Amino acid sequence: MYTPVDKRNAISIDAARKLIVENVSKLTLDTEEINVSDASHRIIAEDVLASHDLPTFRRSGYDGYAMLEEDLHDFPVTLKVVGNIPAGANFDRPLVSGEAVRIMTGGYVPDGADVVVMLETTKMLDDDTLEVSERQKRDNITQIGSFFKQGDTLLAKDTEINPGGMSLLASFDIQKIKVYKKPTIGIITTGSELLQPGDEIVNGKIFNSNGPLIKGLCEENGAEVVGYTQIKDDPQLLKDAIKDLQGKCDVIITDGGVSVGDYDIIADLAKASDKLLFNKLEMRPGSVTTSFIDKGIIYFGLSGNPGACFTGFYLYVEYALRLLQKQQSRLLECQGTLNEEYKKTNMYDRILRGKFKIDADHIEIGRVGGDASDNLNNLQLATALFEIPRGDSITPKGSVLRTWLLPFK
Ligand SMILES: Nc1nc2c(c(=O)[nH]1)N[C@H]1C(S)=C(S)[C@@H](COP(=O)(O)OP(=O)(O)OC[C@H]3O[C@@H](n4cnc5c(N)ncnc54)[C@H](O)[C@@H]3O)O[C@H]1N2
Ligand code: MOO
């Protein structure tokens, strides 16, 4: 018979997250080179520098005429139109005093020209004679290197690249980029009560809902799930499943079997690990959420109760996965105003799954679905988590509570 780890030291949410920061920040991911076109939301592993100035030529900001500033006095001024520069065209000689050239937005401003006059403030007197009636406030020319100088940092190491960054790289014709490899994840869901998809429903058995939840959340957070297994409550099966994942995973997540039952062996593994981060939290649900680091692999033991599994993932696994990728958590921590009284009290801080609404000057939060940790009726609907502080008093409507707005919801 399994003997549970006798004493667990419960720590606060913040203390647990601090331990994650201290220990996960030391770990690094390998790098790889990929096409920029595949790089959305990947993390850049080196500074990317400008290979040249941008723009590379002086560009017109408007449709109009390019000319010499020195000609613009004693209005109206007449100038000879000596050419047309549509977007993409070159002009092979410098412009001289008395000349103007028709130019399009983004067009190449010829040498010698130092102002572009907007089309609206000009008039053609005949086929090649232009009349300009007023001075422009600005030169309307985008100068060489005014966006980036050669050697400027385009994207700094550890930046999460987004379509804006991809467009920036495209503007320098950078096609390949060095990024961190995606964190590799192994997921093991445990429980002799778990059916396989398609099985018949029988008393005592349930379908595995946490597996898809954890897998989806890992993928949402830039990780690659390289192992996904469901096993019965059997210490040997769990040991074998973990061994199988050890060579190929940065993070191993088990689900279920972390409390004090006869088969709860994650606690044992945690105790024998290089660094136990926590195996008891001052929060509900998910008080038994466990995390440890062993031989460079981060382990999480999430609770089997779906609500606890959901909460544990967002508060700890998401945090660690983002840190491993040198990024901040995507959960937005803020203060929410409770929209109705909450009566239950608890010796630990209680994290409720809820919904938020942004009002003019505050964020309103309220419950959605059930609050029991085995109730999964709100996992789709919840857009926020919020904290009911521990203690004996009920939490009145209007209380301002610590809230986390959930990403991708
Ligand atoms: N004597 C005690 N019993 C329990 C304690 C305790 O302190 N002393 N803690 C309770 C709390 S709180 C929680 S949370 C759970 C944690 O349980 P485990 O994480 O060890 O998970 P299991 O016992 O394996 O399962 C709990 C519950 O979740 C269901 N489950 C498991 N896996 C899945 C899955 N993949 N998909 C959907 N549902 C799943 C399972 O059937 C159980 O109903 O322990 C309490 N007990
Ligand atoms: O800590 Mo358990 O997750 O409350 O149900």
Residues 298 and 352 in one domain: no
Indicate whether 78 belongs to any domain: yes
For ligand 1, atom 30: residue with the closest CA: 304
**Is the shortest distance between the CB of 329 and ligand 2 below 6 Å?**
no
State the DSSP H helix or E strand holding residue 207, giving kind and residue range, or none if neither: strand 206-207
Residues 297 and 353 in one domain: no
Provide the pLDDT for residue 264.
65
- Tell me: the pLDDT tens digits for 290-333? 999 999 999 999 999 999 999 999 999 999 999 999 999 999 99
Indicate whether 4 belongs to any domain: no
Indicate whether 286 belongs to any domain: yes
For residue 11, the cross-strand partners are 281
Indicate whether 5 belongs to any domain: no
Pairwise CA distance, residues 73 & 303, whole Å:
79
Quote the pTM value: 0.92
Residues 85 and 199 in one domain: no
* CATH number where 163 lies: 3.90.105.10
Pairwise CA distance, residues 392 & 397, whole Å:
16
Measuring CA to CA, how many Å separate 93 from each of 213, 322, 326? Answer: 65, 55, 51
For residue 228, the cross-strand partners are 187
Grouping H, G, I as helix, E, B as strand and the rest as coil, residue 312 is: helix
Residues 188 and 319 in one domain: yes
- Which residues have CB under 8 Å from 247's CB, separation 6+? none
Provide the pLDDT for residue 257.
80
Out of 305, 309, 313, 376, mutate this one to test ligand 1's pocket (max ligand atoms within 8 Å of CB): namely 305
Provide the pLDDT for residue 294.
95
Instruction: Output the CA torsion sign for 232, 235, 237, 243.
Output: positive
Provide the pLDDT for residue 2.
42
Given pLDDT bands bounded at 50, 70 and 90, which one contains residue 135? confident
**Is the shortest distance between the CB of 287 and ligand 1 below 6 Å?**
yes
Q: What HEC string does 119-184 produce?
A: HHHEEEEECCEEEECCCCCCCCEECCCCCECCCCEEECCCCECCHHHHHHHHHCCCCEEEEECCCE
Given pLDDT bands bounded at 50, 70 and 90, which one contains residue 74? very high
Measuring CA to CA, how many Å separate 71 from each of 58, 104, 119, 194, 267? Answer: 20, 21, 17, 84, 84
**Is the shortest distance between the CB of 384 and ligand 1 below 6 Å?**
no
Indicate whether 85 belongs to any domain: yes
For ligand 1, atom 32: residue with the closest CA: 304
Selection from 223, 216, 283, 217 nearest residue 250 by Cα: 223
Average pLDDT over residues 77-87: 96
- Tell me: the pLDDT tens digits for 324-371? 999 999 999 999 999 999 999 999 999 999 999 999 899 999 999 999
Pairwise CA distance, residues 226 & 249, whole Å:
7
Pairwise CA distance, residues 401 & 126, whole Å:
73
- Which residues have CB under 8 Å from 156's CB, separation 6+? 44, 47
Strands 400-405 and 332-338, sheet pairing: antiparallel
- Tell me: the pLDDT tens digits for 53-71? 999 999 999 999 999 999 9
Pairwise CA distance, residues 114 & 124, whole Å:
20
Position in ligand 2 atom list of the atom nearest CA 312: 3
Residues 89 and 164 in one domain: no
- 288: CA distance to ligand 2 center in Å? 7
CB 14 within 8 A of CB 285: no
Is pLDDT above 80 for 171? yes
* CATH number where 276 lies: 3.40.980.10
**Is the shortest distance between the CB of 256 and ligand 2 below 6 Å?**
no
- 94: CA distance to ligand 2 center in Å? 77
- Residue 118 has phi, psi (to 5 degrees) of -65, 145
- Tell me: the pLDDT tens digits for 98-114? 999 999 999 999 999 99
Q: Which of 10-24, 64-78, 248-262 has the lowest mean pLDDT?
A: 248-262
Provide the pLDDT for residue 3.
46
Residues 190 and 126 in one domain: no
Provide the pLDDT for residue 263.
59
Residues 395 and 295 in one domain: no
Of 324, 345, 379, the domain-final residue: 324
Residues 227 and 307 in one domain: yes
Residues 220 and 171 in one domain: no
How many beta carbons lie within 10 A of that of residue 247, not counting itself? 7
- 260: CA distance to ligand 1 center in Å? 9
Indicate whether 7 belongs to any domain: no
Residues 216 and 278 in one domain: yes
Indicate whether 44 belongs to any domain: yes
Structure tokens given for 37: 């076109």
Residues 291 and 196 in one domain: yes
Position in ligand 2 atom list of the atom nearest CA 303: 3
Structure tokens given for 74: 């004693």
Ligand nearest to the CA of 209: 1
Average confidence score pLDDT of the chain: 95
- What residues make up the domain containing 227? 13-29+182-324
Given pLDDT bands bounded at 50, 70 and 90, which one contains residue 218? very high
Instruction: Output the CA torsion sign for 249, 255, 260, 262.
Output: negative
Pairwise CA distance, residues 105 & 70, whole Å:
22
- 9: CA distance to ligand 2 center in Å? 16
Pairwise CA distance, residues 181 & 325, whole Å:
9
Of 324, 346, 366, the domain-final residue: 324
Provide the pLDDT for residue 92.
93
Of 278, 303, 324, the domain-final residue: 324
Selection from 49, 42, 317, 298 nearest residue 180 by Cα: 42
Match 């100035």 to its residue by tokens. Answer: 53
Indicate whether 147 belongs to any domain: no
Pairwise CA distance, residues 76 & 143, whole Å:
27
- 145: CA distance to ligand 2 center in Å? 58
Selection from 295, 239, 245 nearest residue 268 by Cα: 239
Residues 39 and 176 in one domain: yes
Residues shown for the chain: 409
- Which residues have CB under 8 Å from 120's CB, separation 6+? 64
**Is the shortest distance between the CB of 259 and ligand 2 below 6 Å?**
no
**Is the shortest distance between the CB of 312 and ligand 2 below 6 Å?**
no
Is pLDDT above 60 for 5? no
Structure tokens given for 296: 């460079």
Given pLDDT bands bounded at 50, 70 and 90, which one contains residue 267? confident
- 103: CA distance to ligand 2 center in Å? 69
* CATH number where 367 lies: 2.40.340.10
Task: Count CA atoms closer than 13 A to 148's CA, side-chain side.
Answer: 18
| Total domains in the fold of the chain | 4
